[in-house]
Chain A
Amino acid sequence: MLYRENGQFKTTYSADQQLMPIAQDRWLMIALVASSFLAVPLLASDYALRALIIPFLILTIAAIGLNILVGYCGQISLGSAGFMGVGAYVAFNLTLRVPQLDFLVVLLLSGGSAALIGIGFGIPSLRIKGLYLAVATLAAQFFLDWVFARIRWFTADSSSGSVSTNPIEMLGWTVERPVDKYLLVLGVVCLLTLAAKNLTRSYIGRAWMATRDMDVAAEVIGVRPLTAKLSAFAVSSFYAGVAGALWGFVYLGSWEPAAFGVSMSLNVLFMIIIGGLGSMVGSFFGAAFLVVLPLLLNQIPGMVGIDLSTAMKSHMESMIFGGLIVLFLAIEPHGLARLWAIGKEKLRIWPFPH
């Protein structure tokens, strides 16, 4: 960045291993978190919160979850929306059938049950690799889709298969206004990001990365593939489950089974590819990109003054979207996070050449 880190010496191991070794980074991060807790609720309009910021934050959780599995552990998964669906439907059934349960507990339980299902569908990863695994995870997606669409118990016998949620009650706090919802989601995002970041720096995270880089070699040096892969599936599905519960309760309010279909899975995968595989900040970038882009594309024809039919608009949208994905991959296959890192490195020595 624009600042220099001269003169910041580490004298203890813990100082050397802290999350942000550079003081300015720390202060900037504290300022960012503080302003998003204090300033954003005051400044942002209800519309911006509802249509932009809340979906961005929730999708970030899903993206971090998938990034743990794909980016850190190297197991391609096309089924993340299925696990989001597990979280959403478990949360729905819990609030419906056990109404006295606090939403915090509901959130944890929906994440936990998604993690259990994730472990189940993760077992094939011990034998199947690469693209074959990607198709195997589609089995999870389609099977879970079917379960939620067809087994009436999950949707509480609603005739159309769509469900709607009750207002959220959490620790005596009724989460109803967009600001409340924002603060709830932001809190969850902060906690889960911190947890994921530290997890990837720990023994477990290193085991994941060793498995990703070469699973046979990892096994030889003593990483147990069973625990490494299944823990990645469990953690990833936990995040997906929490994200799904929030997506259903906070963002959608009421949804149909198609809400957690395969296109959602692909969207989350786009987020982490465009954002950057194996990068926390990349998950944020990717989620922001995928939330903002459709809104922008929707606005552009009106701004330029071309009046298009709705169908044409959606075709143009998908054309531009598809084109941009290819363009992004061609320019920077390692995603926005890589661009961010390059920019930071350049700015560090700016205005000098080296």
Chain B
Amino acid sequence: MPLAIGRLRRHWPVVLLAMLLVVGLVAPLAGGAATSGFFLEVLLGGLMAGVLYSLVALGFVLIYKASGVFNFAQGAMVLFAALATARLAEQFPLPLAVVMALGLMIGFAWLVERLVLRPLVNQSAATLLMATLGISIFLEGFGQAVWGNDIYRIDLGLPKDPMIVGARLFDGGILISREDLVAASVVAALVLALSLFFQKTATGRALRAVADDHLAAQSIGIPLNRIWVIVWSVAGFVALVAGLVWGSKLGVQFSLSQVALKALPVAILGGLTSIPGAIVGGLIVGVGEKFADVFLGQALARWFNLEGGGIEQWFAYVLVLAFLLVRPEGLFGERHIDRV
């Protein structure tokens, strides 16, 4: 029993979220079916959007865990992978194009390790952050120079038409985008695969060892350089999946690299070192953003005579800021103790 309580205490954010969900579902039901349908629709839409954010945030977390690098280039990687797939798919069948894009991302990971991480080993976090910014600028330019800078499409064959569920329960039912539903299940599968990879395979265990302590891992014979290549490749793979899903939703174009700016607060909210954190953070940000847009955005627009809402530009960041004040290491981040 103490164990269970301990676990509960460790995972209080999940509990909190679940409670919020329950309260959120029950309260409006009491208030009337019509509003609750709308409420649920906003909630589900937020959850789906959140899943997509966590897809990009996963890439941040993976790299930060294994190499302590805050990878600003994740957005550029998403853009590059999506561009490569979209352009290759014009000449090859889609599965082949995806595999080729994956190959490119692995090659990219190898180059990053060789040309950037190795010379910069043991530098401060700020320097490494800058280096990934450099990579990001380079990759944005390179990707568009090689693959072109128009808007391209990726057709994954996802169903585009929304479906309506629960028409009997609520007035008019709830509108759900099938595309988002597929995307959400893809993310769930990806997270499952990644956790299996991290928990069950030798490479995964090596990755976790490196994340725990670089020096100790090296001293028991784990090759750091190869681990970094692997982890950047995995991040490249995640970027590819994110690029496919986002790209088929929004079209493959430069603005895709800005998705990373959305995912940044998600990764921070969940705690930079935690994969479940990225997921939960994504859900919180997604739901929060949708609700803020629907309720707070209109209120703000009325009070301040605003030009449109646009509240989603900063809401996630301010939410994270407020949250970090309570829990400076994010939801599931490692609590560290400063010693002199």
B145 near A135 with CB under 8 A, answer no
Question: A232 → chain B, closest Cβ, in Å?
Answer: 15
Which chain B residue lies CB-closest to A335?
Answer: B127
Q: Does B130 contact A (CB under 8 A)?
A: yes
Which chain B residue lies CB-closest to A308?
Answer: B145
Stretch at the interface among A36-44, A49-57, A123-131, A245-253: A123-131
Question: A20 → chain B, closest Cβ, in Å?
Answer: 29
* Interface residue from A124, A273, A277, A322 paired with B141 (Cβ < 8 Å): A322
B320 near A139 with CB under 8 A, answer yes
Interface 0/1 of A178-211, CB less than 8 Å to B: 0000000000000000000000000000000000
Interface 0/1 of B291-325, CB less than 8 Å to A: 00000000000001111101101100110110011
* Interface residue from A152, A262, A324, A329 paired with B305 (Cβ < 8 Å): A152
Q: Which residues in window 125-163 of B have CB below 8 A to A?
A: 125-127, 129-131, 133-142, 144-145, 149
Instruction: Give the CA-CA distance A322 to B145 in the complex, in Å.
Output: 14
Contact flag A316-B145 (CB < 8 Å), given A150-B308, A325-B131: yes
Q: Which residues in window 140-180 of A have CB below 8 A to B?
A: 142-143, 145-146, 149-153, 161
B120 near A329 with CB under 8 A, answer yes
A262 near B261 with CB under 8 A, answer yes
Instruction: Give the CA-CA distance A319 to B144 in the complex, in Å.
Output: 10
B130 near A270 with CB under 8 A, answer yes
Instruction: Give the CA-CA distance A134 to B115 in the complex, in Å.
Output: 25
Contact flag A139-B145 (CB < 8 Å), given A322-B137, A329-B120: no
Question: B128 → chain A, closest Cβ, in Å?
Answer: 8
Instruction: Give the CA-CA distance A151 to B265 in the complex, in Å.
Output: 24
Interface of B is mostly: helix
A217 near B340 with CB under 8 A, answer yes
Q: Does B53 contact A (CB under 8 A)?
A: no
> CB-CB < 8 A to A306: which residues of B?
none
Q: Does A318 contact B (CB under 8 A)?
A: yes
Instruction: Give the CA-CA distance A146 to B330 in the complex, in Å.
Output: 25
> CB-CB < 8 A to A138: which residues of B?
261, 264-265, 317
Q: Does B268 contact A (CB under 8 A)?
A: yes
Q: Which residues in window 323-340 of B have CB below 8 A to A?
A: 324-325, 328-330, 338-340
Of residues A135, A142, A315, which shows the largest number of chain B Cβ atoms within 10 Å of its Cβ? Answer: A135
Q: Which residues in window 67-103 of A have CB below 8 A to B?
A: 70, 76
Question: B317 → chain A, closest Cβ, in Å?
Answer: 4
A127 near B328 with CB under 8 A, answer yes
Q: Which residues in window 25-39 of B have CB below 8 A to A?
A: none
B129 near A134 with CB under 8 A, answer yes
Contact flag A131-B70 (CB < 8 Å), given A142-B317, A325-B130, A326-B138: yes
> CB-CB < 8 A to B127: which residues of A?
273, 329, 333
Instruction: Give the CA-CA distance A134 to B140 in the complex, in Å.
Output: 22
Q: Does A23 contact B (CB under 8 A)?
A: no
* Interface residue from A128, A132, A143, A161 paired with B317 (Cβ < 8 Å): A143
Which chain A residue lies CB-closest to B319?
Answer: A139
Of residues B70, B307, B321, which shows the largest number of chain A Cβ atoms within 10 Å of its Cβ? Answer: B321
A-B contact count (CB 8 A): 155
Q: Which residues in window 260-274 of A have CB below 8 A to B?
A: 262, 266, 269-270, 273
Which chain A residue lies CB-closest to B318?
Answer: A139
Q: Does A317 contact B (CB under 8 A)?
A: yes
> CB-CB < 8 A to B115: which residues of A?
326, 330
Q: Does A312 contact B (CB under 8 A)?
A: yes
Q: Does B219 contact A (CB under 8 A)?
A: no
> CB-CB < 8 A to B124: which residues of A?
333
Question: B299 → chain A, closest Cβ, in Å?
Answer: 14
Question: A288 → chain B, closest Cβ, in Å?
Answer: 18
Q: Does A323 contact B (CB under 8 A)?
A: yes
Q: Does A291 contact B (CB under 8 A)?
A: no
> CB-CB < 8 A to A143: which residues of B?
314, 317-318
* Interface residue from A217, A220, A329 paired with B134 (Cβ < 8 Å): A329
Q: Which residues in window 86-137 of B have CB below 8 A to A?
A: 115-116, 119-120, 123-127, 129-131, 133-137
A326 near B307 with CB under 8 A, answer no
> CB-CB < 8 A to A29: which residues of B?
none
Question: B287 → chain A, closest Cβ, in Å?
Answer: 19
Question: B183 → chain A, closest Cβ, in Å?
Answer: 25
> CB-CB < 8 A to B317: which residues of A?
135-136, 138-139, 142-143
Q: Does B272 contact A (CB under 8 A)?
A: yes
* Interface residue from A129, A136, A152, A270 paired with B306 (Cβ < 8 Å): A152
* Interface residue from A145, A146, A315 paired with B145 (Cβ < 8 Å): A315
* Interface residue from B133, B149, B305 paired with A270 (Cβ < 8 Å): B133
Question: A149 → chain B, closest Cβ, in Å?
Answer: 7
Q: Which residues in window 298-354 of A have CB below 8 A to B?
A: 311-312, 314-326, 329-330, 333
B321 near A161 with CB under 8 A, answer no
Question: A197 → chain B, closest Cβ, in Å?
Answer: 22
> CB-CB < 8 A to B329: which residues of A?
132
6 new A-B contacts at CB < 8 Å, known A124-B325, A151-B304: A135-B268, A138-B265, A318-B138, A326-B134, A329-B131, A333-B120
26 A-B pairs with CB atoms under 8 Å apart are A128-B324, A129-B328, A131-B272, A132-B324, A132-B329, A132-B330, A135-B317, A149-B310, A153-B305, A216-B338, A315-B142, A315-B144, A318-B140, A319-B145, A321-B141, A322-B135, A322-B138, A322-B139, A322-B141, A325-B131, A325-B133, A325-B137, A329-B120, A329-B123, A330-B115, A333-B124
**List of 10 A-B pairs having minimum Cβ-Cβ separation, nearest first:** A322-B138, A318-B141, A325-B134, A322-B137, A139-B317, A319-B141, A315-B145, A330-B119, A142-B314, A326-B134
B residues with CB within 8 A of A: 70, 115-116, 119-120, 123-127, 129-131, 133-142, 144-145, 149, 261, 264-265, 268, 272, 304-308, 310-311, 313-314, 317-318, 320-321, 324-325, 328-330, 338-340
